[in-house]
Amino acid sequence: MTILVTGGAGFIGSHTVVQLLEAGHAVVVLDNLCNGAAEALRRIERLTGKSVPLVKGDVRDRKALDALFRAYHVEAVIHFAGLKAVGESVREPLAYYDTNVNGTLVLCQAMAAAGVRRLVFSSSATVYGPDAPVPYVETLPRGRTSNPYGTSKAMVEQLLTDLQLADPHWSVVLLRYFNPIGAHPSGVIGEDPQGLPNNLMPFIAQVAVGRLPELAIFGDDYSTTDGTCVRDYLHVMDLADGHVQALGRLETPGLHVYNLGTGCGVSVLDMVRSFERVTGQSIPYRVAPRREGDLAAFWADAAKAHRELGWQAFRGLDEMIADTWRWQSENPQGYRR
């Protein structure tokens, strides 16, 4: 199949492109490079020996999308393109609704016009909201969201649900990611956040490599085993495989929703200690006040993805850390070297 990967120059998209190519699919990437790197795609070409055409353009640009669908025989779309920084979304809600919601709307309009009705969407565990019992299971209703980023994901889920209901020819897979970390085992591609990292793993990796002096642990007074927050971290390569397996589900029209996580909770302190043990690097840290909007603990019930997609997260925490560290230590400044 030829797959359009929007946001394919970003963290999860780039790893998914590798796995799509390895599975024998052809890929075209649409990315405006606001948080991605063309260098990632050049490295993927070297890694796989296959070409990855990059259309530098915006997912909100209908003309660019129409031209892309005319130029390539796209059979399905995996839609990663979006903005993802929670704090920034509170300060700039319009930018988030424009890129994430309007971007998906324009993409779906262009897909419908081109007769392409197969879509995999990057959703998030954040749509379960703060009151859901753990582990999160897909049968739970979407909960209340606490920031524009989360609301934009919930709105897109609703938009796609309504679209599929109105036109049953559509096949839509909503993938709710938990906390992706890690990097390709080659160390050639990985996560390269612009500016100060918001997320735990890239922050720890930048402390380890000497780009940042210390980690601030946001709160150690939660009701968890060691007082720090617990999350379900999964290897980005497992997450990428989940997208390849989700393509099979697109053969059946309908709306399909899956959690992608390991089902295991890891605390912030567990992560710091494991990182030190696996890499031999010390991670100086201090305990800081809680970060607004953080939940104490959540993890996935990923049984449905196993049952229906045959997907499971195989890579353990030590492998996630070792692969992150290979990428970060061999590329201390990310794609800028």
Q: Which residues contribute to the site for ligand NAD (CB under 6 A)?
A: 6-7, 9-13, 30-36, 58-60, 80-84, 99, 103, 122, 124, 177, 179-180
Minimal distance in Å, beta carbon 240 to ligand NAD?
Answer: 10
Q: Which of ligand NAD, ligand UD1, none does residue 13 bind (CB under 5 to 8 Å by kind)?
A: ligand NAD
Identified binder of ligand UD1 from the candidate list 60, 291, 301, 335, rule CB under 6 A: 291
Minimal distance in Å, beta carbon 14 to ligand NAD?
Answer: 8
Helices (H), the chain: 11-22, 38-48, 62-71, 86-91, 93-96, 103-114, 148-166, 200-208, 236-249, 268-279, 303-309, 317-330
Over the window 39 to 78, marking each residue x when it contacts ligand UD1 by CB under 6 A and - when it does not, the resulting string is ----------------------------------------
Burial class (CB in 10 A: 0-12, 13-18, 19+), 187: middle
Minimal distance in Å, beta carbon 128 to ligand NAD?
Answer: 12
Of 80 and 311, nearer to ligand NAD (C-beta) is: 80
Cis check for the bond before 133: say yes or no (omega within 30 of 0): no
Q: What is the DSSP letter of 166?
A: H
Q: For the chain, what is the largest distance between any 2 Cα atoms, rounded to a whole number of angstroms?
A: 55
Burial class (CB in 10 A: 0-12, 13-18, 19+), 275: buried
Assess 218 for contact with ligand UD1 (CB under 6 A): yes
CA 101, 102, 107, 109 dihedral sign is positive
Of 54 and 230, nearer to ligand UD1 (C-beta) is: 230
Identified binder of ligand UD1 from the candidate list 43, 117, 184, 231, rule CB under 6 A: 231
Dihedral through CA 327, CA 330, CA 336, CA 337, nearest 10?
180
Over the window 145 to 164, marking each residue x when it contacts ligand UD1 by CB under 6 A and - when it does not, the resulting string is ----xx--------------
Of 69 and 177, nearer to ligand UD1 (C-beta) is: 177
Assess 300 for contact with ligand UD1 (CB under 6 A): no
Q: How many CB atoms lie within 10 A of CB 7?
A: 26
Integer Cα distance of 196 and 205 in angstroms: 12
Q: Which residue type does 104 have?
A: T
Integer Cα distance of 232 and 205 in angstroms: 18
Cα–Cα distances in angstroms (integers) from residue 318 to residues 16, 225, 275, 278, 279, in the given order: 21, 20, 8, 6, 9
Q: How big is the site for ligand UD1, counted in residues (CB under 6 A)?
A: 21
Minimal distance in Å, beta carbon 280 to ligand NAD?
Answer: 26
User: At which residue do the structure tokens 């980005």 appear?
Assistant: 236
Assess 84 for contact with ligand UD1 (CB under 6 A): yes
Q: Which of ligand NAD, ligand UD1, none does residue 294 bind (CB under 5 to 8 Å by kind)?
A: ligand UD1
> What amino acid positions are annotated as catalytic residues?
149
Over the window 104 to 143, marking each residue x when it contacts ligand UD1 by CB under 6 A and - when it does not, the resulting string is --------------------x-x-----------------
Residues within the interface to ligand UD1 (CB under 6 A): 84, 86, 124, 126, 149-150, 179, 198-200, 203, 215-218, 229, 231, 268, 291, 293-294
